[in-house]
Amino acid sequence: MGDKQPVYILPENVSRMIGRDAQRNNIMAARLVAETVKTTLGPRGMDKMLVDSIGDITVTNDGVTILEEMQIEHPAAKMMVEIAKTQEAEVGDGTTTAVVLAGELLKNAEKLLDQDVHPTVIVKGYRLAAEQAIKILNEIAIHIEKDDRDLLEKIAITAMTGKGSESAKDLLAKLVVDALIQVSEEGIDSIKLEKKKGKSISETELIKGIVLDKERVHSDMPKKIEDAKIALLDCALEIKSPETDTKVNISAPEQLQAFLDQEEKMLKSMVEKVKKSGANVVICQKGIDDVAQYYLAKSKILAVRRVKKSDMEKLSKATAGKIISNLNELNEEDLGKARIVEEIKEGKDAEGMLYIRDCPNPKALTILIRGGTEHVVDEVERAIKDGLGDVAAVLKDQKIVAGGGAIEIALARKIREFAQGMKGREQLAIEEFALAIESIPKILAENSGLDPIDIITELKAKHDAGHQYTGIDVENHGVGNTFEAGIIEPLKIKTQAITSASEVANLILRIDDIIASGKSEPRMPSGMQGMSGYE
């Protein structure tokens, strides 16, 4: 860069880059993002260690986590991060695939740009290819029954492979499938992931209820309640509001006493209302006054306070209780049910946690994640999220594909056939699109220590001979029928990745002018500073 002087038709602090320079700059930045996550793809992918400004460390293999922590600033690079976020939101897995694909599409587009193919032609070719790809994928996809536990567990295992949970992947896959089958129509948002370090991953468990990172508010309250009847309150068991506080005007000691008596009476009556409903557990989203705590404890009611709104909603689903905003409206039929509510402390100095468990037919659940260290439980959580995302996606559209690059080889093959029927330079773009798709098995091979060229050649030969489920079986170190090997993914991962990768690649290709204002230095957006390879 720097061989062309910017033309100053704009204020001095606005910098501008046009034409090929702009394209090159954007493509470079976007590709760097893809290069960064590329080595993490697949079960033998490497991990990244991310250290933030205050020294906190994250060790992960998860595409979206890496990109979010990187604090990327370059505008085109940020668009790549958006792909990962969209993929995460839509499927919950496949983030690396989506970003790598966009990077490859841009890399191949650059080849065409160098051959003077106009960007609009590339964009058109890519768009046609992407549309065709979605059609082809839907044709190749395999139907699965919603109660096919065996396949569902394989999908969860494929999602979690290589994510630091290897030792317990069968157990975790079972928990993931159990959880989703139990909450089915309520979906993935009703599954709470709670982490607890200590013990091993294999002690991760599914709790038919909710686990809260909370202790009871008063030590005289019971630690354990059986046949719990739970009042879910989003009103405070307090009376003071800032205004009344300041308005109270007390001039004599007896007035103060009267005031305190009055307050105590009101709090006591609040507790009476709770008691009258038959509740023996109170879970409160707001505060609970000391006096109310005392009376609750006296009535042998277990209470916790300041519970998150999202947890209140899950509790409502798990226990079938109704969240009440006005104590006067609290009735017995509003109470949630659980066979056991119990505060458990593991170890003397550990923080207690409240288990609301064995709810009858719960529509919300908790997976309590265990692992030796914080880094381990964090990575297991990300693995479980991928598993949940994939199984949920499959339960929705009931369509799966063979992983380990099998689907990509099959798809690239069909896209090339499609390209044959096209004329002119768009054909070139469609062929480059097919090549980009093929980069997924190529990188999988590379990351597994296999020779990518040999492997791709072998895979293509197998597919030409009609074996459309042949892919890379990393565990068995070679080429094989990945569907039979249980390497199975949701169709949705692939369609979503292709859609967002090609959209973003096209968006970036269409830009031929970067006007950056507000920065004092006369350089181009430089958010990738500190990343090697740029400038």
Q: What are the residues binding Mg ion (CB under 5 A)? A: 93, 386
- Closest contact distance (angstroms) between CB of 512 and Mg ion is 35
Residue 489 site contact among Mg ion, ligand ADP, none (CB < 5 to 8 Å, cut-off depends on kind): ligand ADP
Catalytic residue among 36, 95, 470, 499, which? 95
- Closest contact distance (angstroms) between CB of 93 and Mg ion is 4
**Catalytic status, residue 397:** no
Residue 164 site contact among ligand ADP, Mg ion, none (CB < 5 to 8 Å, cut-off depends on kind): none
Residues in the chain: 535
Q: Which residues contact 310 (CB under 8 A, 6 or more apart)?
A: none
Task: Pick between residue 39 and residue 299 the one whose CB is nearest to ligand ADP.
Answer: 39
- Closest contact distance (angstroms) between CB of 69 and ligand ADP is 15
- Cβ atoms within 10 Å, residue 198: 13
Measured distance CA(273)–CA(3) in Å, rounded: 78
Q: Which two three-digit tokens encode residue 145?
A: 């029954």
User: Residue 517 phi/psi, 5° resolution?
Assistant: -110, 165
- Closest contact distance (angstroms) between CB of 421 and Mg ion is 34
Task: Pick between residue 289 and residue 473 the one whose CB is nearest to Mg ion.
Answer: 473
Q: Which two three-digit tokens encode residue 148?
A: 């096919």
* 131 HSE (CA, 13 A, CB side): 6
Place of tokens 């994928």: 137
Residues in contact with ligand ADP by the rule CB under 6 A: 40-43, 45, 61, 63, 93-97, 158, 161-162, 403-404, 440, 444, 472-475, 487, 489
**Catalytic status, residue 386:** yes
Task: Pick between residue 84 and residue 201 the one whose CB is nearest to ligand ADP.
Answer: 84
SS3 331: coil
Measured distance CA(73)–CA(493) in Å, rounded: 27
- Closest contact distance (angstroms) between CB of 88 and ligand ADP is 9
Residue 487: enclosing H or E segment and its boundaries?
none
Measured distance CA(401)–CA(92) in Å, rounded: 17
Burial grade of 217 (CB within 10 A; 0-12, 13-18, 19 or more): buried
Task: Pick between residue 414 and residue 494 the one whose CB is nearest to ligand ADP.
Answer: 494
- Closest contact distance (angstroms) between CB of 68 and Mg ion is 16
Catalytic residue among 311, 386, 390, 473, which? 386
Q: Which two three-digit tokens encode residue 382?
A: 């990300």
Query: Measuring CA to CA, how many Å separate 107 from each of 22, 72, 87, 361, 432?
Result: 15, 20, 21, 52, 9
Residue 43 site contact among Mg ion, ligand ADP, none (CB < 5 to 8 Å, cut-off depends on kind): ligand ADP
Task: Pick between residue 43 and residue 525 the one whose CB is nearest to ligand ADP.
Answer: 43
For Mg ion, the nearest residue by Cβ is 93
Catalytic residue among 40, 58, 65, 96, which? 96
- Closest contact distance (angstroms) between CB of 40 and ligand ADP is 6
* 172 HSE (CA, 13 A, CB side): 34
Catalytic residue among 21, 36, 58, 62, which? 62
**What type of residue is 534?**
Y
Query: Measuring CA to CA, how many Å separate 474 from each of 9, 162, 196?
Result: 56, 11, 31
**Catalytic status, residue 62:** yes
- Closest contact distance (angstroms) between CB of 133 and Mg ion is 20
**Catalytic status, residue 95:** yes
Measured distance CA(127)–CA(355) in Å, rounded: 51
Task: Pick between residue 96 and residue 280 the one whose CB is nearest to ligand ADP.
Answer: 96
DSSP letters for 172-239: HHHHHHHHHHHHGGG-GGGEEEEEEEBS-GGG-EEESSEEES---S-TTS-SEEEEEEEEEE-S-B--
Residue 45: enclosing H or E segment and its boundaries?
none
Task: Pick between residue 173 and residue 312 the one whose CB is nearest to ligand ADP.
Answer: 173
Residue 343 site contact among Mg ion, ligand ADP, none (CB < 5 to 8 Å, cut-off depends on kind): none
Task: Pick between residue 209 and residue 403 the one whose CB is nearest to ligand ADP.
Answer: 403
- Closest contact distance (angstroms) between CB of 58 and ligand ADP is 16
For ligand ADP, the nearest residue by Cβ is 403
Task: Pick between residue 91 and residue 456 the one whose CB is nearest to Mg ion.
Answer: 91
Burial grade of 269 (CB within 10 A; 0-12, 13-18, 19 or more): exposed
- Point out the residues that are catalytic: 62, 95-96, 386
